[in-house]
Structure formats: C-alpha cells, structure tokens
C-alpha cells in the first residue's frame, strides 16, 4: 500500500538482508563452477513473463533470482566485454544516490554531486595533461560522450547550431574505431561520405602516413574536415593509435583533435603504461569511461576539454525554468553542457572509491589488468596450438586456434558460452574470427587463463575430433 512505501523499518530489514546476500555472492563467486547459467533468449523471456504474472509480493526472491541468473562479472573467469567488476563500495554509493535522487542539471538539484563532479573532472584533466584550463563533465557512456565531444568540435570549427549548414562536413577516424564514432557522425548528418576511415596497419593502428592523402581526397570531394579522432584504444584489439602523429596532423590543418579513450584512456592514472597515450595532452577533447577500467558501475563517462570553455559552446538553448541566463558559463549548472537534463549522481560513485581506497587504486587496477593481459599473450605465443591476432598493448587479447576455420572458432566460443564455465567473446579482424578476452577482474589470475586454453582445446576435440 502507498502509505507503507517509505516505511523506514521495513527498508532497514530488507536492506540488511540484501547486503548479506550481496556479501555472500562476493565471497562465494570465486568458487562457483560457472560464470553464469546460460539461458536462450526466448526461454529467459518466458521465465520472466511467468514471474511477472505471479502477483506474490516477494521482492527478496526477485533480488536473488537477479543475482543467480546474471552474468557474474566478479567471477575470475569472466573475460568477456569491457565492463568493470565494480568495486563493492559503489553499490553502497548507488543506494545513497538512488534514495536521494538529486539530478544534476541545475545546482539547486545537485548541491553535492555538481561540485564533486567538477573536482573529479578537474583532477582527470590534470592527469591527461591539460593543466588548469582543462575540465569537463560526466555523461551516460562513451557513445553519448563521443557524440557530445564531436558536437563541440563542430561548434568550434563551424557554425551550425542556429543556421544549419549546406556544407559537406567530415571527420577522420581509424577504420578500427568504435562503432559509436561512426554512429555519432551519422547522427550529426555527415553521412557515409563524411566519415573518412583511415586504414590500419598489421597491428590495427591507424596508418598515420596516409592522413595527408585522405585529407586531400576529402578536400577534392568538397568535404570540409573539421575533426580527427584517435583511438586509445581500439575496441576490437586493444591497441593504441599514434596520438603524437595524429596531434601534429591536426595542428597543421587546424582540425579539432579528439581522443576516444573510453577503455584505454585510463592509463593516464598509470606511470607504467602512460606512454601508450603519449600525445594525449595535445588533444582538444578526450573521453574516458569510469565503468570500464576504473572500477565503477555503468554508465559513467568523463568528457574532458583542454579548454573547459569549449564545453559551453555545444548547446545554446533557453530554459528559463532552469536558469535565468542561458549564455553564462557557470560550472554548477551542468545541464548547459550535456544532453541530459535529469542526470544521476554519477560523481558520488567515483568519489566513494577514492574515499574508500585512495586515488592510487585506479593506477594499480590498470597495471594489474594490463600485466595479466600481457602475460596471457606470452602464454599464447609459447603454445604452438594458438596464434595471436596482434601483440596486445592492453588487457584485450585476440587469439585463435591455428589453422581453424572461422566456423570452428565461432562454434568453440558458442559452446563455451553455453557451458558457462568461462565467459569470452569473439571478433572479426580482416575477415577472420578471433576469440577475444578482456581481463577486467582483479581476481583473475594467469592460472584461470591457462585453464581457458585447456578448455578451448577440450571443446575443440569434442566438437571436431582433433587437438588442433
């Protein structure tokens, strides 16, 4: 009943019970045989339809089912997508932010989150190397972040907000860039012709020696290039573009230089691996996901500008019920800079990790995961049954059984998925299917990866009757 919805004692009892359940999950997940119990989509839909039709009031049963039937990212053998196994402290922060439910568009609704968000993004800007002029905001994921940064690039280089444009505009980007960059360009109306994709080398890095050629080709086709995007790192392979060369090219031609650091930009926190983003400080904008390498739950992404004033040039809309002066550059009204109006208290989750574990935890996490990724690549290289797609820069490793067909590698991956003992994915590189792992869990050990290779060979033998 409505009168009971805010009953504090009921909440206290449920909360204590749920915390115990979550703590037991964290304690026991390492020893579970399966990462998750695979269920075919239609069967999962049927299960939850039946559950929905059951009108029994049993929310704790629902929470238990959610945990039991979900992909368990805290399991050491979760090695699939680039999604963090969140620091448990963020679950408590999520409870606080959910119950307070303060949006962040205007200061009076974000009196805690907005200052915290400003401080976090200033800190990240310094780590990138932007200095005191750098800053930005948090938004809901890398897709929206890249779109926002590219809109800022367009606003900086050409005026379209009020009058539109009849110009043919374009951006330059690696052919291995994340699909969301392509999507952002299409949303902006650039079309296929305005997405100038630069080929990659054998290690799947942008061939920067081709930039001048492709730039001239675009000009000759009547396309005004206003931005170039460097990948740090490419989603499929985890390898980094040469940001120094891209930055120099951008400066020469007065282009906006944007770095998609959704995954690999986190190395700005690592002394050991920071060299991978040498030149990032020359960028005009950078995005970094906190929910990938930085221990936070999805979705939290920073959009950072070398000149924080550039963030205000993207959107110029009147909303008198929110703020009296739409043109003023007040950091505390975040809605002036983002797509979102109502925005969750993202910064509180990041801040909770810092307060619980210290600022150094981010660099430690990156170093560990990258170290395991490199060790796994060495393990594969020493095993005559497998081959690497490329020597990895990061914690993303692509490999396959030697001499196996695409269908064979795909079938092996599907069987592993259905068995549920490991969670890995696959990718297509130059027309070849590769198995792909992303080491995202600080509890994953090289022994787990040795067992993965053994499992792959076992599945291959069972499916195809051969060892290699």
Q: 404-414: per-residue pLDDT in tens? A: 999 999 999 99
User: What are 279's two structure tokens?
Assistant: 């030149």
More confident residue, 340 or 22: 22
- Under 8 Å CB-to-CB from 173, ≥6 apart: which residues? 181, 182, 185, 195, 196, 197, 198, 228, 229, 231
Residue 163: C-alpha distances to residues 155, 189, 245, 313, 356 (Å): 12, 14, 34, 15, 49
**Burial (0-12, 13-18, 19+ Cβ within 10 Å), 98:** exposed
For residue 446, pLDDT over 60 is answered with yes
For 252, the token pair is: 């020469």
Report the pLDDT value the prediction gives residue 377, as an integer from 0 to 100: 97
For the record, the structure tokens of 386 come out as 């497998």
CATH 3.90.1150.10 occupies which residues in the chain? 361-464
Residue 119 structure tokens: 């401080």
Q: Among residues 36, 66, 60, 31, which one has the least CA distance to residue 48?
A: 66
| Token pair recorded at residue 146 | 């890249």
| pLDDT tens, residue by residue, 20-29 | 999 999 999 9
CATH number for 361-464 (one of 3.40.309.10, 3.30.565.10, 3.30.160.250, 3.90.1150.10): it is 3.90.1150.10
Q: CA 454, CA 468: separation in Å to the nearest integer? A: 12
d(C-alpha 86, C-alpha 73), whole Å: 8
Q: Which helix (H) or strand (E) holds 301?
A: strand 301-305
Q: What pLDDT score was predicted for residue 466?
A: 60
- Tokens of residue 164, six digits: 């539109």
pTM: 0.92
Q: What are phi and psi of 446, to 5 degrees?
A: -60, -25
Question: Mean per-residue pLDDT for 389-403?
Answer: 95
Mean pLDDT, rounded, for 73-99: 95
Q: How many CB atoms lie within 10 A of CB 345?
A: 24
Half-sphere exposure of 109 (CA within 13 A, CB side): 17
Q: Residue 6 pLDDT > 50, yes or no? A: yes
- Write the pLDDT tens digit of every residue in 298-324: 989 999 999 988 877 666 544 444 445
Instruction: Give the H or E element holding residue 159.
Output: none
Where is pLDDT greater, at 187 or 263?
A: 263
CA 366 to CA 269: how far, in whole Å?
Answer: 8
* Per-residue pLDDT at 80: 93
pLDDT of residue 157: 79
- 164: Cβ contacts below 8 Å, ≥ 6 apart: none
- Contact of 51 with 58, CB cutoff 8 Å: no
Residues of the chain with CATH 3.40.640.10: 97-357
Please give the CATH architecture assigned to the domain spanning 97-357. Answer: 3-Layer(aba) Sandwich (3.40)
What is the average pLDDT value for the chain, to the nearest integer? 91
What pLDDT shows up at residue 218? 95
Residue 342 has pLDDT above 60, yes or no: yes
Residue 199 scores a pLDDT above 70: yes
The fraction of the chain above a pLDDT of 90, given in percent, is: 74
**What's the confidence (pLDDT) of residue 77?**
96
* 54-74 average pLDDT score: 94
């Amino acid at each position: 009943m409505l009168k009971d919805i805010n009953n504090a004692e009921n909440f206290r009892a449920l909360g204590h019970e749920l915390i115990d359940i979550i703590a037991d999950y964290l304690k026991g997940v390492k020893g579970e045989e399966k990462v998750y119990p695979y269920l075919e989509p239609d069967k999962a839909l049927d299960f939850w339809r039946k559950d929905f039709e059951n009108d029994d009031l049993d929310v704790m049963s629902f929470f238990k089912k959610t945990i039991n039937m979900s992909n368990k990212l805290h399991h050491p053998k979760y090695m699939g997508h680039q999604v963090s196994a969140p620091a448990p402290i963020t679950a408590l922060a999520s409870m606080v932010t959910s119950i307070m439910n303060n949006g962040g568009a205007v200061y009076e609704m974000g009196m805690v989150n907005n200052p915290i968000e400003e401080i976090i993004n200033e800190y990240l800007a310094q780590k990138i190397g932007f200095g005191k002029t750098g800053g930005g905001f948090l938004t809901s994921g890398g897709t929206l972040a890249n779109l926002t940064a590219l809109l800022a690039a367009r606003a900086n280089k050409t005026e379209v907000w009020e009058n539109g444009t009849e110009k043919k505009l374009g951006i330059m980007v690696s052919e291995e860039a994340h699909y969301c960059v392509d999507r952002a360009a299409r949303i902006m109306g650039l079309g296929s012709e305005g997405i100038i994709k630069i080929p990659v080398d054998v290690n799947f890095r942008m061939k920067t020696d081709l930039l001048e050629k492709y730039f001239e080709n675009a000009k000759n086709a009547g396309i005004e290039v206003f931005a170039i995007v460097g990948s740090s790192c490419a989603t499929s392979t985890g390898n980094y573009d040469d940001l120094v060369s891209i930055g120099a090219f951008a400066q020469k031609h007065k282009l906006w230089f944007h770095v998609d650091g959704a995954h690999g930009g986190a190395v700005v926190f690592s002394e050991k691996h920071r060299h991978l983003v040498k030149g990032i400080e020359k960028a005009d904008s950078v995005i970094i996901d906190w929910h990938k390498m930085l221990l936070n739950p999805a979705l939290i992404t920073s959009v950072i500008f070398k000149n924080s004033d550039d963030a205000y040039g993207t959107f110029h809309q009147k909303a008198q019920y929110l703020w009296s002066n739409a043109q003023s550059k007040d950091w505390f009204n975040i809605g002036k800079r983002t797509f979102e109006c109502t925005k969750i208290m993202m910064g509180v989750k990041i801040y909770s990790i810092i307060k619980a574990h210290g600022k150094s935890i981010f660099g430690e996490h990156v170093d560990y995961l990258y170290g395991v990724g490199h060790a796994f690549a060495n393990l594969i290289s020493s095993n005559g049954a497998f081959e690497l797609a490329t020597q990895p820069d990061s914690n993303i490793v692509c490999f396959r059984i030697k001499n196996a067909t695409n269908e064979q590698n795909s079938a092996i991956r599907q069987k592993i998925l259905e068995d549920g003992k490991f969670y890995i994915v696959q990718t297509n590189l130059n027309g070849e299917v590769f198995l792909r792992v992303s080491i995202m869990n600080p509890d994953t050990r090289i022994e787990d990866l040795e067992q993965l290779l053994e499992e792959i060979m076992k599945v291959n033998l069972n499916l195809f009757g051969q060892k290699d």
